[in-house]
Structure 1
Amino acid sequence: MKPLKEFTIPFVGLKIGKHQFNFDIKETFFEHFEYEDFNSVKVKADVILEKKSTLLELNFKISGFVNINCDLTNEPYDQIIENDFNLVVNFGDEYNDENIDILILPHGTYEISIQQYIYELIVLAVPIKRVHPGVEDGTLDSDILEKLEELSPGLKEKNEQNEDDIDPRWNTLKKLLTDK
């Protein structure tokens, strides 16, 4: 995958110390990754790069919302997301990203692409089960929800069972408890 230029940070000319980078993430960012689960995206990514003499420390913080469809009703809603991640970039003989928190870049590298880290932070911040807030508090009026309630195996039916439906052997056992 070709890296996006706006998410590539050239660190060679930066002074030792902290440097802040801000990115506004929109739907076009996810088109690059061919990820189509989001209807719309408005996320702000703040990256603080701390350059030290032998390594780099990156601190990612994302916040905003993604518009997704509810798993129960398929109604779109805005899901607020927040996430953060720390990455240490060290330098070695060859590229190595096997460790989740440490990235090793070859000596002589002058820039780092952070698009994959931002993508993963946003996607992983979305809950696995996507439930519209209106479903949880009962304010969402949806035909699908009404149909789900109608077709669900009812708890009402269990409560409406008469004691006559109980196996008569249990009644005999109940007498043993009361005959003491």
Structure 2
Amino acid sequence: MKELKAFKIEIFGLSNSTHDFSFTFNDDLFAHFENSLVSKGKGACDVILTKTDAMITLNLTIKGSIELECDRSLELFDFPISVNKEIVYKYGDEEKELSEDVFVILKGEQEINIASFLYESISLEVPMKKLHPKFQDEPDSDGMIYISETDKESQEESTDPRWEALKKLK
């Protein structure tokens, strides 16, 4: 994966205080990641960076929409997303990931690229069951197939009479 230069934050010259950054994303962000769940989308990401001598904290606020394909009708629709995420960078001797939101970076690090965090945060917003908004008002059958009363009656009528004789033996 190539790094996206549009999502780099130069941290080397920043003072120890709070800084605001704004980024916009579009289809180009998703094109850089292979086998992406999302191929189209657009929106904005506001970043509040708090820098201290020991660590850097990023608060990401992502708002936008992504294009999904409905599982029921195969129609494309825009799905709204809204994400708030915090990422912590601590200074250390070697780069490593302590948890999914806490990282260790070298003291002399020049820049941070938030493209992968932005992509992951958006991808995690994709629902398991992607339904077009026009299907949202319909009652959910919990994955079961709907059978009307007339279907049940015709199913009972088509029961083999030999089974009825076996049921009588019980």
TM-score bin (small chain) = 0.7 to 0.9
How far has the Cα of 1:46 moved from its partner? Answer: 1.0
Q: Secondary structure at the match of 2:47?
A: strand
Q: Secondary structure at the match of 1:155?
A: coil
How far has the Cα of 1:169 moved from its partner? Answer: 9.0
Give unpaired runs (5+ residues) of structure 2: 139-143
One-letter code aligned to 1:19: H
Matches within 5 A, 1:104-143: 104-137=104-137
Higher helix share: 1
Give unpaired runs (5+ residues) of structure 1: 139-151, 174-180
How far has the Cα of 1:2 moved from its partner? Answer: 2.3
Q: Give the number of aligned pairs.
A: 160
Give the structure with higher Rg (CA).
1
- What CA distance in whole angstroms lies between the structure 2 residues aligned with 1:154 and 1:109? 59
Structure 2 CA distance for partners of 1:131 and 1:65, relative to 1, 3 Å: same
- TM-score normalised according to structure 1 size: 0.76
How far has the Cα of 1:137 moved from its partner? Answer: 2.5
Structure 2 CA distance for partners of 1:46 and 1:159, relative to 1, 3 Å: farther
Alignment correspondent of 2:65: 65
Alignment correspondent of 1:56: 56
- TM-score normalised according to structure 2 size: 0.81
Q: Secondary structure at the match of 1:137?
A: coil
Structure 2 CA distance for partners of 1:135 and 1:94, relative to 1, 3 Å: same
How far has the Cα of 1:37 moved from its partner? Answer: 4.5
Structure 2 CA distance for partners of 1:153 and 1:46, relative to 1, 3 Å: closer
Contact 2:45 2:61 survives alignment (8 Å): yes
Q: Percent of aligned positions with the same letter in both sequences?
A: 33
How far has the Cα of 1:65 moved from its partner? Answer: 0.7
Alignment correspondent of 1:9: 9
Structure 2 CA distance for partners of 1:36 and 1:55, relative to 1, 3 Å: closer
CA-atom RMSD, angstroms? 2.6
